[in-house]
Amino acid sequence: MIRHIVFFSARERENVLRIADELNALGQIPHSDFFEVGLNRRIDQLSGEVDVVVYGEFRDQAALDAYKAHPIYEETIKRVRPLRELRVAADFDSKR
């Protein structure tokens, strides 16, 4: 299984909820085994840069590639990119 995690920060504080709402559209893409979008609770004392987190689980690289090639993915990128400041993504293999 591949775990896909992406962190976003908003350019403007008032766009945090809009970014999360736009990113929720990615959950309509059928290639993930699990998908969710969450707001950072901001309770960590050492880091506060992240506003929104996307988390997905994918059966294999082919499923993740299909997810990223889906038209909803491309459309979501177009809507979110102008609203975000930071985007950091990480993918890792999980044995679970």
Give exposure, 26-49, as e/b (b: 16+ Cβ within 10 Å).
beebebbeebebeebeeeeeeeee
What tokens appear for 95 in the block? 């044995």
Express each pLDDT in 77-92 by its tens digit.
999 999 999 999 999 9
Express each pLDDT in 35-91 by its tens digit.
999 999 988 888 889 999 999 999 999 999 999 999 999 999 999 999 999 999 999
Task: Tell me, yes or no, if the pTM score tops 0.85.
Answer: yes
Place of tokens 């950072």: 40
CATH class of 2-41+52-84: alpha beta
